[in-house]
Amino acid sequence: MLATIEYGQVTQIRLCRYPDNPGGTVSAYLVDGLLIDSGPAHTVEELTDFLKDKGLKTVVNTHHHEDHIAANALLKERYGVELLAHPLAVNKINQPATLFPYQEEVWGYPIPSQVNKIGDTVATHNFLFDVIYTPGHDRDHICLFEASHGWLFSGDLFVGTRPNVVRPQDDVRQIITDLKKVKDLMPRLLFPAPGKVIAEPVPVLEQTIRYLEDLGQKVTELHDRGLSPEEIMKQIFGNEAPLAEFTQQQFSSLNMVKSFLKTD
Q: What is the pLDDT of residues 13-70, one digit of tens each?
A: 999 998 777 778 999 999 999 999 999 999 999 999 999 999 999 999 999 999 999 9
Taking the whole predicted model, whether its pTM rises above 0.85 is answered as yes
Q: Is residue 108 a contact partner of residue 40, using CB atoms and an 8 Å limit? A: yes
Q: Is residue 34 a contact partner of residue 54, using CB atoms and an 8 Å limit? A: no
Measuring CA to CA, which residue among 29, 72, 79, 71 is closest to residue 55?
79
Q: With bands split at pLDDT 50, 70 and 90, how would you rate the model's confidence at 264?
A: low
Domains of the chain: 2-172+184-202 (3.60.15.10)
Contacts of 138 (CB under 8 A, 6+ apart): 63, 64, 65, 156, 169, 170
